[in-house]
Structure 1
Amino acid sequence: MTPRKNQLSRAIVLALLAGGVTACGGVRDRADVQYVEEPASNLYNRAADALDRGRYQRALTMFEEVERQHPYSSWARRAMLMEAYTHYQAQQYDDSIENAQRFISLHPGNESAPYAYYLIAICHFERIMDVGRDQGTTERALAALNDVVRRYPDSPYARDARLKLDMVYDQLAGKEMAIGRFYLTRDQQLAAINRFRNVIENENFQRTTHVPEALHRLVESYLSVGMTEEAQRMAAILGYNFPGSEWYQRTYALLTQEGVAPVAVEEAERRGWLRRTFGRVL
């Protein structure tokens, strides 16, 4: 089981198995099970045991039986969300989303509703293969993750959602950088500048790992088109925010090579260049 699956397993235990609900051992390995009327707890625990063993279809069938036999019980509500989680474990993300949405529509005020929203977001997040090519999936993941943060800002789910948002935004910023670098190889400086500026001006990208390089590439691009003062401004912002970075060292070397003097912090502040800064000082 991956660390992410472990994390979700812990979350589902906290959300659904509180109060001493544990899986019972001793379930016989039978392909066909004859269901008879029995206590909800027995059915639920047998389903949980099948889930722990990775027997997802068996677990789903048993969780569904909890709902069928005991539709108005608290066990049925738990089973409904566990069906969504089981589909997630089986990488059946559409089915997982559908079950989680059904839970939310029927029990919007339930204490496990935050987890249902989180599970929907994670299903979208898991399906992101390439943020640059798969824009629709990326947008749905961002919307769902932001929804978790907006609805439950102080919850553990929101904390994890923020981390995943940062991961997605970092990949999106990386895609912008790749396109900008491509334009540089084609000597299309203005097109490259637009991409690099988006990385430093988009508030979702300003804390990503790509900001120092974006500032350096802007220095490089501005110098190549003769916009020396803009190059000095970007260099000053880079030096102010990331003074010890490799990218500032490369920028300083480039300015020296081109015979352009770096602007001191005091002068940059006097010119108003540092009133709007980027990266870690935001």
Structure 2
Amino acid sequence: MFKFYESPKLKFSIVILLISWMTCSSCAWFQEKKEKTAKELVNEGINEFNNGNYEYSINAFEKLKDWYPFSKFAVLAEIKIADANFRLKKYEEAALAYKEFTNLHPTNEAVPYAIYQNGLCYFNQVDTVDRDQSSAKTALDIFNRLIKQFPENIYVNQAKAHKKKCLKS
């Protein structure tokens, strides 16, 4: 009896078919979608942020930072990731991101904002008087830094008000 699957022609045909399929599957014609541009990612991140979808916003901004680290939008992505974490009440992550932003971009116009928000991260972690007050101390130090470095900034009055509350706690 003839065994069709043992035929050398059939084996050769199957190998050619597999090679063709693998070649075609790697072609751009078969790809699902091309990578988004930096502009598309920043727009997506901002839209998600404005709609309250902070996790999706962080995801879009993280992709932007990873895929386009030298893009003009990368700095914006850094601050928006911190803002999204702040809105999610992930204060430790937000504080770290704000601090990193001020260290990486000391001359950026958003530095006073980042310092203020960093202070708020610690301020929002201040508990009652009977608990560890290290968050209050850190917030106080950060607000003092803002007041000293940027005395004319719009965030100074708010920092002073929060500073008084820190001293009371």
Give the TM-score band, short-chain normalised: 0.7 to 0.9
Q: Structure 1 CA distance, aligned partners of 2:99 and 2:60?
A: 20
Q: Check the 8 A contact 2:127/2:133 in 1, yes or no.
A: no
- The equivalent of 1:82 in structure 2 is 80
Aligned: 1:37 with 2:47: no
Q: Check the 8 A contact 2:54/2:88 in 1, yes or no.
A: yes
Q: Structure 2 CA distance, aligned partners of 1:128 and 1:35?
A: 46
- The equivalent of 1:150 in structure 2 is 148
Q: Check the 8 A contact 1:100/1:117 in 2, yes or no.
A: yes
Superposed displacement of residue 57, structure 1: 1.3
Q: Structure 2 CA distance, aligned partners of 1:121 and 1:151?
A: 14
- SS of the residue aligned with 1:73? coil
Aligned: 1:96 with 2:108: no
Superposed displacement of residue 117, structure 1: 0.9
Cα pair distance change 1:131/1:148, threshold 3 Å: farther
Q: Which amino acid is the alignment partner of residue 76 of structure 2?
A: R
- The equivalent of 1:108 in structure 2 is 106
More divergent stretch after superposition (117-126 vs 131-140): 131-140
- SS of the residue aligned with 2:156? helix
Superposed displacement of residue 88, structure 1: 0.2
Matches within 5 A, 1:189-204: none
Q: Structure 2 CA distance, aligned partners of 1:139 and 1:128?
A: 9
- The equivalent of 1:122 in structure 2 is 120
Superposed displacement of residue 36, structure 1: 3.8
- SS of the residue aligned with 1:41? helix
| Cα deviation code 1:44-78 (max 9, x no counterpart) | 11111111222221110100111122211220000
- SS of the residue aligned with 1:49? helix
- The equivalent of 1:166 in structure 2 is 164
Aligned: 1:72 with 2:74: no
Q: Which amino acid is the alignment partner of residue 146 of structure 1?
A: N
TM-score by length of 1: 0.46
Identity level (%) = 26
Matches within 5 A, 1:1-282: 36-169=34-167, 171-172=168-169
Q: Which amino acid is the alignment partner of residue 89 of structure 2?
A: Q
Q: Check the 8 A contact 1:131/1:168 in 2, yes or no.
A: no
Q: Which amino acid is the alignment partner of residue 135 of structure 1?
A: Q
Q: Structure 2 CA distance, aligned partners of 1:61 and 1:100?
A: 17
Bigger relative contact order, structure 1 or 2, given CA contacts below 8 A and separation 6+?
A: 2
| Cα deviation code 1:104-146 (max 9, x no counterpart) | 2211111111111111101001111214533211111111111
How many residues are matched?
138
Unaligned ranges ≥5, structure 1: 1-33, 173-282
Q: Which amino acid is the alignment partner of residue 155 of structure 2?
A: Y
